[in-house]
């Protein structure tokens, strides 16, 4: 949930560092009146993650991107975005580990080590392997567990953040939050107007499946028939084709097993203009 009061305090703190809100707005490349409205609690919806990243970069250490994402409701815990992604990776293997009859308290201990590890820590696997051998011995089940842990560790170590000039922010969406996981290589002169999203469902197959990446051109206006990223009821994100009729938005999914939705509370984040693996979304003549 968007914490307007806390967000206002953070912006006030940054503005005081600059002397006034105008200098702060210029440093963040954000409109002065736009920031002023948030400082005075006039806007009920949070800025986009792209704007939050600009504010964080201009804050002079007064805040950071993860804090802003949490305050604005994109993150639902005190964990960093990287830790949240690492947690999700661990959850993907939870049932496999449960099948090996590992105690829940030991499984949670192992996951905690993997999630909280420092970047490029080479001792994590040895630490976990020693723990498993001391508590479960060396056998076929622990060998399988070692292999799973090694695979999880490698995926977590692959979570990287590269400089902003290499690409556009890449986000993952789940049932509630949207959080940055890295950057997506994207060659275009005006990259500030784009983000990338990793899909997690098969609702838009065959155009966009799980783990496919869609490039989003940020915009609030829509044209009927566009494929868009949108926020529904301030609670979860969806990618769908959208049509409007009598103040009701109808969402259509490419996969026929999902029924259309009729909604009244939606916020458009932007249009899908390109997918990672195919050019089905690309406009004629390029972007």
Span 141-187, pLDDT tens digits: 999 999 999 989 888 877 654 444 557 888 877 655 677 777 777 77
Note the pLDDT of residue 163: 47
Note the pLDDT of residue 65: 79
Which strand (E) or helix (H) includes residue 145? helix 140-157
Q: Cα–chain-centroid distance for residue 129?
A: 31
CA–CA separation, 59 and 77 (whole Å): 22
- Walk along the chain (287 residues) and give the pLDDT tens digit of each residue: 788 999 999 999 999 999 999 999 999 988 899 899 999 998 888 887 778 888 988 888 888 877 887 788 766 555 666 776 677 778 778 888 989 989 888 998 999 899 888 766 678 889 999 999 999 999 999 999 999 999 898 888 776 544 445 578 888 776 556 777 777 777 776 777 888 888 878 888 877 887 788 899 888 777 788 889 988 877 788 888 888 776 678 888 888 888 888 877 778 888 988 877 543 444 433 33
CA–CA separation, 270 and 192 (whole Å): 13
Note the pLDDT of residue 75: 63
Complete edge-to-edge strand list for the sheet that includes strand 213-218: 178-185, 167-173, 194-198, 213-218, 266-275, 227-232, 236-245, 248-252, 261-263
What are the CA-CA distances from residue 262 to residues 174, 244, 245, 254 (Å)?
20, 9, 10, 16
Note the pLDDT of residue 141: 92
Q: Cα–chain-centroid distance for residue 2?
A: 16
- Burial (CB count within 10 angstroms: exposed 0-12, middle 13-18, buried 19+), residue 89: buried
pTM for the complete prediction?
0.45
Structure tokens at 66: 């993860």
CA–CA separation, 169 and 269 (whole Å): 14
Q: Which of 81, 39, 261 is nearest to 181 (CA)?
A: 81
Q: Which of 179, 165, 1 is nearest to 84 (CA)?
A: 179
DSSP-assigned beta bridge partners for residue 266 = 232
Residue 24 φ then ψ, to 5°: -60, -45
Q: Are 175 and 101 in contact (CB under 8 A)?
A: no
Structure tokens at 274: 């390109």
- Burial (CB count within 10 angstroms: exposed 0-12, middle 13-18, buried 19+), residue 239: buried
């Amino acid at each position: 949930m968007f914490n307007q009061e806390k967000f206002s305090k953070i912006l006030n703190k940054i503005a005081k560092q600059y002397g006034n809100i105008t200098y702060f707005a210029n440093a963040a490349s954000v409109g002065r009146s736009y920031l002023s409205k948030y400082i005075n609690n006039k806007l009920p919806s949070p800025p986009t993650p792209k704007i939050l990243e600009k504010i964080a970069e201009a804050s002079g250490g007064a805040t950071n991107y993860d804090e802003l994402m949490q305050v604005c409701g994109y993150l639902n815990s005190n964990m960093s975005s990287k830790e949240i992604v690492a947690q999700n990776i661990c959850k993907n293997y939870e049932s496999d580990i449960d099948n090996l009859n590992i105690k829940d308290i030991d499984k949670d201990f192992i996951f905690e080590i993997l999630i909280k590890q420092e970047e490029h820590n080479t001792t994590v696997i040895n630490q976990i392997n020693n723990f498993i051998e001391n508590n479960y011995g060396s056998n076929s089940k622990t060998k399988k567990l070692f292999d799973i842990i090694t695979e999880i560790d490698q995926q977590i170590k692959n979570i990287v953040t590269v400089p902003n000039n290499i690409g556009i922010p890449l986000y993952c969406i789940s049932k509630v939050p949207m959080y940055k996981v890295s950057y997506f290589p994207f060659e275009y002169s005006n990259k500030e107007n784009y983000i990338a999203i990793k899909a997690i469902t098969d609702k838009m197959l065959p155009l966009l499946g799980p783990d496919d990446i869609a490039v989003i051109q940020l915009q609030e206006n829509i044209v009927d028939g566009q494929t868009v990223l949108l926020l529904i009821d301030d609670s979860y994100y969806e990618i769908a084709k959208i049509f409007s009729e009598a103040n009701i938005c109808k969402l259509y999914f490419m996969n026929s097993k999902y029924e259309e939705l009729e909604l009244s509370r939606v916020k458009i984040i932007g249009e899908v203009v390109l997918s990672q693996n195919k050019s089905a979304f690309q406009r004629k003549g390029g972007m």
